[in-house]
Amino acid sequence: MTGRWRWPWRALREAGILGMNERNFSYIKAENPRRLFPLVDDKAKTKQLAAKAGIAFPELYGLISSDAEVRTFQKIIEGKQKFVVKPAHGSGGNGILVIRSVRNGRYFRANGTFLDELGMEHHLSNILSGMYSLGGRPDQVLIERCVEFDPIFDEVTFQGVPDIRTIVYRGYPVAAMVRLPTRRSDGKANLHQGAVGAGIDLKTGRTTHAIMAGQPVTHHPDTGHVLAGIQIPGWRNLLTLAAHCWDVVPLGYLGVDIVLDRDYGPLVLELNARPGLAIQMANRRGLRPALARVQALPRVPTTAEQRAAFAMGEGELPVAAVAEAEDARSTSG
Amino acid sequence: MKKRSIYLAAFAIAAIGIAMFLVKLDRLGLPLTPNQDTAVWTIEARARFEAKGGPLTARLEIPAAPLGFEILDEDFISSNYGVTTEREDLKRTSIWTVRRAKGKQSVYYRMSVVEADSVKQHTDAFPGFPDRPEREEAFDSAIEALLEKVRNESADITSFTGALIRRVNKLEGDSAVGLLNDGEVTASRRALQLVDILASARIPARVVWGISLEDEVRNAPLVPYVEVHNQSVWLPFDPLTGGKGYPDGFLIWYIGSNPLLDLEGAKNGEVHFAVARTLREMVDVAAQRAQKGDSMWFDFSLFALPIQTQNVYRVLLTVPLGAFLVVLLRGFVGIKTFGTFMPVLIALAFRETELWVGILLFVTIVGLGLWIRFLLERLQLLLVPRLAAVLTIVVLLMLTISIVSFHLGMDTGISVALFPMVILAMTIERMSLVWEETGGRDAITQGAGSLLVASACYLVVSNAYLAHLSYVFPELLLVVLAAAIVLGRYTGYRLLEFWRFRSVWLGRGDAS
C-alpha cells in the first residue's frame, strides 16, 4: 500500500493502463481495417504472405481443406514423429494438438495422453466443421513442424510451447511478454487458461515481473523456478522479426506470437488482430505511454530494424528518415 | 470535431423523439403512467310517446358539442324508424320518422362522453339586442319598476342578472314578483320568465338545459340554466339562486326555449335520462377520441394495428430498453455474457415465468443440458449434429419439467415452454466449449454473468411503467437510440477493470 488514496480511475490513468473499451475503439476499430482480418484469422494465408516476405514460420507439412482430404493425413505425416495439428482459424490455442511421437497408430501428445486413429480423424473433422473457428465457419487444418523450442525456458515451462507475445503498434514494438504454459493451462500458452505471463523489458530482453490468473507471481507454479531475470537470446532479432510482421500485415495494433526454436531461432507462430490487455499486468506497466510515444512519431517509411531499435530505446528515429519525411511534406504542402 | 458531429446527431435524434412525445402528450391526452383510468359517462335518453296511428315524426333535441365534454360514441336506437339528424350551430336534433305506428312507442338516443378540460363558457357570437316583449299594461309597468330597482343596485350585465334573479326569487315584497310567482314555481318556468324579463331590459338571454352527471341515476332531471350575453361571452346563471357558472359534471343537452321532444302524429311524450359512469383505460379513450377526430397521429401509430399485433409490439418495444441495459452492463460495468443480446431474450422469457421461477428453470435446464452434453462428448459427434442433439435434449427436458411440475401441482413449471429453446441450446453449447477451453470457473462466471444481466433486463422489460411509455410513446425509443450513440463512443475504463487492474491502484504494482 502506498498510503495515499487515489481514485481508481486516476490511478489507472496515471499508470497508463489501456482499458478494453479504449482498446476496442481507439486501437482495434481505428487502426485495424476489417479487410485485413482474414489475413491473420486464417493461418494458412498468414503463412503464405510471410513466406513471400521472408518471415520465418514453422515449416508447413500439409493442409487439409475438406473431409475428403482427411485420407491424405497419413501421407502428410509419413515418416514424421513430431508434428502439430492446428485449425487455420483457431484462436487462443484451442484445437491445437502437439504430437511428440507416433507408435502403433497411436498419437502421443506432449502432455502424455494419446489419440488413436479414430480420435485423430474425429479431431480433424471437428476442426473442419468449424468447432474452433470464430463463428463456427468451416475451417482448414494445418499440419506443421513441431517447434524444438530453445532450452532457455525449460525451467519455467510445464509441457507445451512457451511463446513470446509482442504488441506491435504501427510497426513499432510497444510491449512484450513471454507466455509460459502450466499444468493448469494444459500446456497451452494462453493466459486465460492459466498460463504464466512474464513481462519483458524491451530494452534488454530480460523478463521482469510475472502474473498468473491476473495475480502477481514470482515463481513458476509447477517447476518452482524464479520467473524474473531470464535473458532472451537474440532479442534484437526477435523484435525486428515482430516489427517486420507489420510490413506484411499492416494492422496498426498487432499481436505477434513468436517461438524460439533451438535450430531456427525465432519463428512467428501466429498473428493476432485483437491482442489482449493482460500484457500490461505482466509488465506492470500500462500501454498508453508507449502507444502515445509512437503516435507522436512522423509517419515515414522505416525499416523493421529501425523500428526495433526505437523500441529498444536507441534514440529517436534515424534523422535522415525524419528529414526526408519533412522534405516530402513541405514539397507536397 | 467528428465527435462533436456525432453528439449533434444524437442530440437531434433525441430532440425529435422528445418533441414527438410532447406533441402526442398534448394533443392526444395519452397518459404518462399505465392503467390510468378515466371516467366515461354513458347517457341514455329514452323518449316515450303514444302513436296516433298515422305517420309519425319525433324530434328530440340532442347535444351538439357539449361544453367541457367530448363525445366518444353515440347510438340511435329504434325499431322501424328512419333516423336523421339536423345540425345548426349549437343545436342538434335527431328526427325519427315512421310511415305508420300505433300504440306505445320508445326511441333511444345513447351517447358516451368523457370530460375534457376546456373552459365552460359558450363563446358563440352576439345574437343582437332582443325586441321588448308585448305585455299587459299593468304587468309591463310592474316589470319596468322591477328592472329599475335592479338597475339601481347593479353595475354591469353580470351583476344586473344576478341581482334580478335574487329579487325575483324573493318570496315577499314586490308586486311584480308576486305576479311572477303566481302558481307553482319550477326552475324551468323561472328560466323562461327570466329570459322574457331580460328581453325587456334588452339583454340577450337564453335557456340552457342540461343534466348533472351522477353515477347510477335512472331518471336524471333536465336542469335549466339562463345564459346572458355580455357582448363577448355567454354567462350562465342558476335561475333559482342566481349562482354564476355551471357546476362540475354538468352536461349541456340543448339550448333554447323550445321543448325537448316535439311530436307529430303522437301524444303524451316524455323523455327519461339514465346516467351511468364507467372507468376505461385512458389509452383506449384517447384512441377512440382521436379516431373520431381523424387524427393523423393515430392513423400512423400502433393503435391502428390489429390488437394481436399491438400485443406483440407491447413486448417488442421493450427490447431496445433491455438492449440498452446490456450496453451499459457490458461496456460500462464489464460483465461477461454468452452472446451479446442473449440475456435480453432470456429476460423476455422471464416475463412469462416470473423471475425466480425463470432463473430456477433456466439453471435446471442448462445444468442438465450441460451434463448430457458432456456425456454426448464421448460419442464424438460433429458440430452441427451435436447442436441438433443438444436442441433435442433441451426440448425433451422442457417437456419433462412441464409434465412433472404439472403433476406436482406447480403451474409455473409449465411455463418453461416459453423459453426460447434455441437460445438455451446455444447457451449450453457455448458454455460447454468455454468449460473445455478455459475451465469450469470461467464457464460458470460467464453463465452467472448472463443470468445476472438477464435478471436486470427482466426488471427493465417487465417494468410496467417503462413498458407503458415505450408502447404508448414509441418515439421515446429515439432517446434511447441517441443515448446508445453517445455511449457508443465511451472509451473509458469499465467498472470491473478497476478490479482486474487492482494491483496497479492498490499500489502493489509500483514495487521494484
**SS3 sequence, B390-410?**
HHHHHHHHHHHHHHHHHHCCC
Residues B353, B423, single domain; the answer is yes
Confidence of residue B175 (pLDDT cuts 50, 70, 90): low
Q: Is A17 on the interface with B (CB under 8 A)?
A: yes
Chain A, window 118-157: residues with a beta carbon less than 8 angstroms from a chain B beta carbon: 118-119, 122, 125-126, 129-131, 136
Q: Would residue B322 count as lying in a domain? A: yes
Show the cell assigned to B330. 457490458
> Which sequence spans correspond to the domains of chain A?
8-39+151-316, 59-145
Q: Are residues B467 and B333 in the same domain?
A: yes
Share the mean pLDDT of chain A: 86
**Strand B223-229, strand B205-212: pairing:** antiparallel
Q: Say yes or no to pLDDT of A318 above 60.
A: no
Q: Would the pLDDT of A252 be above 90?
A: yes
Say how far apart CA B29 and CA B363 lie, in whole Å.
45
More confident residue, B116 or B368: B368
Looking at the fold, whether B300 and B448 belong to one and the same domain comes out as no
Per-residue pLDDT of B273-314, as tens digits, reads 988 887 777 777 777 766 666 566 666 677 777 777 777 888
Highest mean pLDDT among A307-321, B205-219, B418-432 belongs to: B205-219
Q: Is A325 on the interface with B (CB under 8 A)?
A: no
* Run of H or E residues at B16: helix B2-28
> Average of pLDDT values for A190-214?
90
**A8-39+151-316: in CATH 3.40.50.150:** no
Give percent of chain B with pLDDT exceeding 90: 16
> Cβ–Cβ of A214/B492 closer than 8 Å?
no
pLDDT of residue B294: 58
Residues spanned by the domain of B289? 38-123+207-214+249-304
Phi, psi of A290 (to 5 degrees): -65, -40
pLDDT at A240 over 90: yes
Do B295 and B318 lie in a common domain? no
Q: What is the number of domains present in chain B?
A: 2
Is pLDDT above 70 for B405?
A: yes
Contact criterion met (CB < 8 Å) for B492 and A194: no
> Residue A203 — very low, low, confident or very high, per pLDDT cuts 50/70/90?
very high
| B434 within domain boundaries | yes
Chain B residue with Cα closest to A129:
B383
Q: What per-residue confidence (pLDDT) applies to A1? A: 45
The answer to whether position B153 is within a domain reads no
Which of B263, B283, B304 is the last residue in one of the domains? Answer: B304
User: Which residue among B438, B457, B472 closes a domain?
Assistant: B472
Instruction: Please give the pLDDT value at position A292.
Output: 92
Model confidence at A325: pLDDT above 90: no
pLDDT of residue B58: 92
pLDDT at A141: 93
What integer pLDDT is reported at residue A317 of this predicted model? Answer: 58
Query: B500, A22: Cβ pair inside 8 Å?
Result: no
Tell me what pLDDT residue B279 has.
Answer: 76
pLDDT at B72 over 70: yes
pLDDT digits (tens, 9 = 90+) for A151-171: 888 888 887 778 999 999 999
pLDDT the model gives residue A64: 93
* pLDDT range class, residue A279, cuts 50, 70, 90: very high
pLDDT at position A137, please? Answer: 76
CA nearest B488 in A: which residue?
A25
Average pLDDT of chain B, as a whole number = 83
Order of strands, sheet of B234-237, starting from the edge strand that comes earlier in the sequence: B234-237, B223-229, B205-212, B250-255
What is the arithmetic mean of pLDDT over A102-127?
88
A30 to chain B: which residues are within 8 Å by CB? Answer: none
Q: What is the pLDDT of residue B119?
A: 65
Contact B494 A214 (CB under 8 A): no
> Cβ–Cβ of B505/A125 closer than 8 Å?
no
Q: Select the residue of A20, A214, A280 nearest B494 (Cβ to Cβ).
A: A20
Topology (CATH level 3) of domain A59-145? Dna Ligase; domain 1 (3.30.1490)
pLDDT in tens, B310-362: 778 888 888 999 999 999 999 899 998 887 888 888 888 888 777 888 888 88
Q: Which residues contact A189 (CB under 8 A, 6 or more apart)?
A: A93, A160, A161, A162, A163, A179, A180, A181, A195, A257
Element (H, E) at B211: strand B205-212
Indicate the helix (H) or strand (E) that contains B316: helix B307-316
| Best of B430, B503, B508, B510 to mutate (most A CBs within 10 Å, chain A) | B503
In a domain, B14, yes or no: no
> B197 pLDDT band (50/70/90 cuts)?
confident
Please determine, for residue A333, whether its predicted confidence score (pLDDT) is greater than 50.
Answer: no
Residue B109 lies in a domain: yes
B500 → chain A, closest CA residue? A214
Q: Which residues contact A193 (CB under 8 A, 6 or more apart)?
A: A92, A93, A184, A185, A186, B437, B438, B439
A65 at interface of B, judged by CB pairs closer than 8 A: no
Residue B269 in any domain: the answer is yes
Contacts of A154 (CB under 8 A, 6+ apart): none
- Confidence check: pLDDT of B73 > 70: yes
Output the pLDDT for position A329. 55
B47 falls within a domain: yes
Contact yes or no for A21 and B498 at CB 8 A? no
Q: How many CB pairs under 8 A join A and B?
A: 85
Distance from CA of B503 to the nearest CA of A (A): 8
Residue B96 has pLDDT above 60, yes or no: yes
CB contacts, 8 Å: A92 with chain B: 437-438
- The residue among B426, B430, B497, B510 with the most chain A CBs within 10 A of its CB, best to mutate, is B497
Which residues of B are less than 8 Å from A120 in CB distance? none
Stretch B89-94: mean pLDDT: 87
Higher pLDDT residue, A192 or B383?
A192
CB–CB of B491 and A26 under 8 A? yes
- A68-89 tens-digit pLDDT: 888 899 899 888 889 999 998 8
Share of residues in chain B with pLDDT > 70 (%): 89
Q: What does the pLDDT read at residue B296? A: 64
> In sequence order, what are the residues at sequence separation of 6 or more whose Cβ sits closer than 8 angstroms to the Cβ of residue B42?
B110, B111, B112, B275, B276, B277, B278
Q: Is the pTM of this model over 0.80?
A: no
**Residue B192: predicted pLDDT:** 87
Amino acid at A48: Q
In a domain, B25, yes or no: no
Q: List A residues 244-283 in contact with B (Cβ-Cβ < 8 A).
A: 280-281
Contact A12 B384 (CB under 8 A): no
Can you tell me the mean pLDDT for A103-112?
85
pLDDT at B512: 35
Q: How far is B442 from chain A (nearest CA, A)?
A: 9
**Are B296 and B335 found together in one domain?**
no
The answer on B295 and B429 residing in a single domain is: no
Contacts of B491 in chain A (CB under 8 A): 19, 21-22, 25-26
Does the distance separating the beta carbons of B439 and A193 come in below 8 Å?
yes
Q: What is the pLDDT of residue A322?
A: 55
Lowest mean pLDDT among A8-12, A316-320, B504-508: A316-320
